[in-house]
């Protein structure tokens, strides 16, 4: 869906990817475009490759050929994209998080949120104040003392203060209560519909009614790593009563690979996210 008449923010062409430990490819011949200003809901069963796809778009995994995935006109692994134009937030903020310019901080640190974000709040005071209100973040919070939901809100606050052009969200709202999740998604929608025309891919299994109108497009990954749907929300829903019911029916019809293979995929994806990615060491290039 062409939202604003600009070149696509993300272009994926015939992408295949295989983890070194896997018997089969995780992603198979995946091709799609994400137009600038789109809000794409990424759906699929556990182990379908959603996290792997987001990590590749984020530049956290090397691929061959390198131009199989282009983000804002660059190969996905190109350092020209920097640390703020494209932002990836996963559902794990763990011991191995590395401090980088105050944007990713080890959650066991004794620093307060205020101390973690001094430079960002100074550079973007209005954005910081707005996002702080949306997420209900207390600058005096010390991260090790926070609940899971508070920690997630602090994490999102730290990551999203600087303006971004492409945002990749991987199951990051599960620990937010309904109020904060709703307000956060409305904030993200405002970033894409306003002057900035930012682009979002949001992977989640929490399919609330509000997502029917929040998303501009649906990208469904089949359990075998192929594209099952890439298009409008209305087209995906079809005769179903809601987006949730349409996703549920497709998942029921989508037969996963063998249980052993699916289990291995899930375990290794979790370990990869927990202990950091190893570009060039973590995959076999599938051509």
Q: What is the pLDDT of residue 79?
A: 85
Distance from C-alpha of 118 to C-alpha of 53, rounded to nearest angstrom: 33
Report CA torsion sign: 249, 254, 260, 262: negative
Side-chain-facing half-sphere of 210: CA atoms under 13 Å: 10
**Predicted local confidence at residue 196, as pLDDT:** 87
- Residue 34's alpha-carbon distances to 2, 94, 195, 200, 243, in angstroms, are 8, 30, 18, 9, 20
115: pLDDT confidence band, cut at 50, 70 and 90? Answer: very high
| Whether pLDDT at 99 is above 60 | no
Cis previous bond, 65, omega within 30: yes
Express the helix, strand and coil content of the chain in percent, nearest 5 each. 35, 20, 45
Instruction: Say how far apart CA 42 and CA 219 lie, in whole Å.
Output: 5
Question: 9: Cβ–Cβ under 8 A, 6 or more apart, which residues?
Answer: 34, 35, 36, 37, 38, 71, 72, 165, 166, 199
Domains defined for the chain, CATH in brackets: 1-85+166-172+197-274 (3.40.50.300), 89-163 (no CATH)
At 277 the pLDDT is 44
pLDDT of residue 264: 53
pLDDT tens profile 61-93: 989 899 999 999 999 989 888 778 999 999 875
CB count in 10 Å sphere of residue 80? 10
Query: Could you write out the DSSP letters of every residue in 145-167?
Result: GS-HHHHHHHHHHHHHSS--SEE
pTM score: 0.84
Instruction: Work out the mean pLDDT of the chain and round it to a whole number.
Output: 85
User: Which run of H or E residues covers position 183?
Assistant: helix 178-193
Q: How do residues 10-19 score in pLDDT, each as one tens digit? A: 999 999 998 8
How does pLDDT run across 34-53, given as a tens digit for each residue? 999 999 999 999 999 999 99
Rounded (10°) angle between helices 178-193 and 125-135: 150
Q: Which of 19-28, 151-160, 180-189 has the lowest mean pLDDT?
A: 19-28
Q: Whose CA is closest to 72, among 93, 86, 90?
A: 86
**Number of residues that make up the chain:** 287
Whole-angstrom Cα distance, residue 83 to residue 42? 22
């Amino acid at each position: 869906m062409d939202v604003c008449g600009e070149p696509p923010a993300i272009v994926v062409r015939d992408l295949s990817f295989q983890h070194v430990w896997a018997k089969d490819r995780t992603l198979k011949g995946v091709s799609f475009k994400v137009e600038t200003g789109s809000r794409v809901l990424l759906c699929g069963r556990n182990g379908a490759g959603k996290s792997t796809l987001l990590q590749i778009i984020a530049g956290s995994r090397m691929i061959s050929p390198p131009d199989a995935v282009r983000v804002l006109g660059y190969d996905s692994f190109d350092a020209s994209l920097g640390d703020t134009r494209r932002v990836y937030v996963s559902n794990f903020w763990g011991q191995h998080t590395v401090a980088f310019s105050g944007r990713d901080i080890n959650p066991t640190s004794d620093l307060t949120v205020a101390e973690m974000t001094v430079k960002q709040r100074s550079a973007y005071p209005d954005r910081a104040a707005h996002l702080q209100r949306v997420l209900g973040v207390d600058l005096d919070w010390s991260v090790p003392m926070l609940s899971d939901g508070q920690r997630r809100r602090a994490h999102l606050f730290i990551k999203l203060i600087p303006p971004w052009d492409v945002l990749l969200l991987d199951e990051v709202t599960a620990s937010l209560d309904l109020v904060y999740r709703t307000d956060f998604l409305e904030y993200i929608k405002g970033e894409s519909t306003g002057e900035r025309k930012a682009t979002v891919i949001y992977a989640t299994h929490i399919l609330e009614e509000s997502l029917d109108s929040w998303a501009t497009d649906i990208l469904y990954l089949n359990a075998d790593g192929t594209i099952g749907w890439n298009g409008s929300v209305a087209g995906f829903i079809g005769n179903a009563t809601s987006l949730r019911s349409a996703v549920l029916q497709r998942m029921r019809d989508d037969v996963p690979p063998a249980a052993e293979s699916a289990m291995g995929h899930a375990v290794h994806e979790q370990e990869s996210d927990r202990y950091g990615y190893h570009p060039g060491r973590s995959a076999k290039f599938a051509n």
